[in-house]
Amino acid sequence: MVLHPILQDLVKTPFFRYFKVKLWCDCPFWPDDGMCYLRDCTVCECPESEFPEPFKKSSRLFSADDVICQEGKPQAAVDRTLDDTIFKGWIQIDNPWTYDDETDDAAMTYVNLQLNPERYTGYAGPSAQRIWTAVYKENCPQYPSEEWCNEKKVMYKLISGLHSSISVHIASEYLLDSSANLWGQNVQMLYDRVWKHPDRVRNLYFIFLLVLRAVTKAADYLEQAEYNTGNHVEDLKTQSLVRQLLYNNKLLSACRVPFDEVNIWQGQNGPDLLQQIQNQFRNISAIMNCVGCEKCRLWGKLQVNGLATALKVLFFVDGKNNLQLQRNEVIALFNLLNRLSQSVKFVHDMGPLMEKMERHDSSPTGKTPW
């Protein structure tokens, strides 16, 4: 995992530690009746004096006429390159892959991710289960079958991979003893929820490679982006870390194209499939508003936003290869890549112990629904 230490340092920089999010949203599907088990699972919001001054300034606003909508267009065949990409300043345009109005600053607040780590909160039971049931059943009507086209299989793999990663995060930072406030690894949870289902491990690697591909595909854009927080020393460090990540020699030599998106959305039904998958992902982002645990909602929204940004990069077509991203999208994208990197590393490191547990487990390991 050559990228792991770089990503860990990158997300701790002032630019990447502050994420703008709608924490208080009405669930569009059902009354919210969930709650956390732990008192400290609420989110600590940033006072305005804390987050970087440049973040308070309005970014360039674009009207709908400034972008060519890709939805339903026959030229939605994907090109691998973004040759003419030039960073021209952060913009505010809602991502077509997400449900929230991301430019509604009045309803959004900045959160310091370093003060709100993703870990076990005790959010479980019918409320939590209803979230994943809605995500799977409403957007993947069946579990994968040979009848599915590649595009629908990709959608399922992404959902399953993200679910696996979140399960890994919970298992890696679990409250072992509430009375002593003792945190540690819940290896049995890791084994039961992820390891003994080989497809879930494969899907974890799949989503990691897809997001990594999006980051490397947008390398020219991301290298030129302005990582400005008003702290010159920290901003130079951020820029350096971004370049180390984007142009890592070991990564480029080992995995130049982590995910090949060129054959997706091809053929006569390509544009319709793209529109269908995009609508399904918007629905998933809307379901995040129904998460009853505030900290879980924060990390759910961040990671769904990051994945939406990856999909936007991979399948963006406007005839000019003119990719444009919000600052918040880039923050979500790199934080998601870091979370996936941590999940992959944890599963890899725990492999010998998991294999030992597997040898002693006589129960069947057939594929079952989540």
Is 339 marked within a binding site?
A: no
The amino acid occupying position 81 is: T
Is 256 marked within a binding site?
A: no
**Is 46 tagged catalytic?**
no
Q: Residue 326 in contact with residue 91, Cβ under 8 Å?
A: yes
Packing angle of the helix pair 150-172, 327-349 (nearest 10 deg): 70
User: What residues contact residue 321 under an 8 Å CB cut-off, 6+ apart?
Assistant: 79, 81, 82, 83, 84, 85
Is 193 marked within a binding site?
A: yes
Beta bridge partners of 60: 91
% helix, strand, coil for the chain, step of 5: 55, 5, 40
Of the candidates 41, 46, 140, 293, the residue annotated as catalytic is 293
Nearest to 305 by CA among 94, 55, 127, 46: 94
**Is 41 tagged catalytic?**
no
Element (H, E) at 303: helix 294-314
Q: Residue 346 in contact with residue 38, Cβ under 8 Å?
A: no
- Maximum Cα–Cα distance for the chain, whole Å? 62
Of the candidates 46, 140, 290, 296, the residue annotated as catalytic is 296
Q: Residue 211 in contact with residue 306, Cβ under 8 Å?
A: yes
Q: Residue 285 in contact with residue 27, Cβ under 8 Å?
A: no
Q: Residue 103 in contact with residue 92, Cβ under 8 Å?
A: yes
Cα separation, 165 vs 160, in Å, equals 9
Is 119 marked within a binding site?
A: yes
Q: Looking at residue 112, what DSSP letter applies?
A: E
Cα separation, 230 vs 257, in Å, equals 35
Is 160 marked within a binding site?
A: yes
- Pick out the residues of the known binding site: 119, 121, 132, 160, 163, 193
- Pick out the residues of the known binding site for FAD: 119, 121, 132, 160, 163, 193
Residues annotated as catalytic (active site), given as ranges: 293, 296
